């Protein structure tokens, strides 16, 4: 990708939460909106509205939950080497 998109290491948790939440919310709101209403007139607006509501929730949950879940998993992983 090059050096033009480099962030300081201290911002890694924030960057992860932003990118992961955008990635997941985009996919999930698209699929759920499509499943519930179909690809009919006004789909893009309904999808954006769902995204607009879901993204702050997902971002907050990732910011709060990811570190705790990483610690939880790390304690339960057994090295087999």
What pLDDT is recorded for position 63? 94
What pLDDT is recorded for position 23? 98
Q: What residue segments make up the domains of the chain, in order of their start?
A: 9-76
Which whole-number Å values give the CA distances from 70 to 21, 41, 63, in the listed order?
Answer: 16, 42, 12
* Residue numbers in the chain where pLDDT is lower than 70: 1-2, 81
Taking the C-alpha atoms of residue 36 and residue 38, their distance in angstroms, rounded to an integer, is: 6
What pLDDT is recorded for position 52? 98
Structure pTM?
0.79
- Chain centroid offset of residue 74 CA: 21
What pLDDT is recorded for position 28? 98
What pLDDT is recorded for position 6? 84
């Amino acid at each position: 990708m090059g050096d033009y998109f480099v962030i300081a290491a201290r911002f890694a948790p924030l960057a992860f939460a932003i990118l992961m939440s955008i990635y997941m919310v985009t996919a999930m709101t698209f699929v759920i909106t499509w499943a519930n209403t179909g690809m009919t007139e006004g789909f893009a607006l309904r999808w954006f509205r769902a995204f607009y509501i879901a993204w702050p929730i997902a971002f907050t949950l990732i910011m709060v939950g990811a570190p705790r879940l990483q610690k939880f998993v790390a304690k339960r992983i057994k090295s087999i080497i």
